[in-house]
Structure 1
Amino acid sequence: MEQIMGAIQDVALAMREGNSALREGNLIFERSLARLPIHEQEVFYLLDEIGFDSILRTRVYLYLIKNPDMLRAFIGYPVEERKELLFTMMARLKELKSFNFKCYNPALPIKFNKKNQPVLNSFKASDTSKLFKASADF
């Protein structure tokens, strides 16, 4: 009888150790999912290529670094449409609501300067819902 009890205790101990190892493995897996898909410096270069000014680039950079899933979506999006994607992602952020930046707005007529060059329309980030018609909550 003692041998059976000892064997049961050994099995119980092995199961507890196995559960502990599984928990540690799950933590490691979860941490690996939270990592950024590319190095932070590469994120900066991608934003620089799009043509953000330094203030907006900093805010977009911090947003993408804090949100690895959004960074993955950004990287997977067509290059020529990434700027529009970022405006859509960030349209509801309070920190950008009062920030003015320049972008083409097809809802407004194109204006030309004295040299007959097109001038980009100026709008607030809070107006992006009209421009990009973002329906998803981020």
Structure 2
Amino acid sequence: MDDLPPLNAVAMRGTGLNAWQADPVPADAPWWERALLTVRNEARSLVRVGRIERPEAILLAPDQTYFLRENLKLKLLNARLSLLSRQVDVTRTELANVAASLNRYFDPASRRTQTAATQLQQLQALVKTTEPPRIDDTLAALATAAAGR
């Protein structure tokens, strides 16, 4: 969880020159042209224009990503504890909440996020197919074991 990239991380993606990269400043250009290109490059680094499809993820402060990650860890721990206490419905709900948070706040194009989402889907499929043992079955197994002594 600690290495999943959040959606609000400002990272340069791709290679080559794009609209967000600085233009090279030629050394043999006149001083006024170098100054103009330097100011232009600085202005480009300050302002970014883009389409925001999920504003709640973008508006998350960078300091809050720590708490988001810790919250996901706590939800996974709750799912684990509820599974150990045979509360399958609670486990399913917690795993669904983790999946929703993962899709909402983390970069879906990242390989790490895709791997985590795949593992989470596999875990959800396992929880859906398994039925917790009934108490009658447990008591019958204990009676059989006690009679065999």
Indicate whether the TM-score tops 0.5: no
The structure richer in strand per residue is 1
Instruction: Give the TM-score of the pair, scaled to structure 2.
Output: 0.29
Instruction: Give the TM-score of the pair, scaled to structure 1.
Output: 0.30
Higher RCO (CA 8 Å, separation ≥ 6 residues): 2
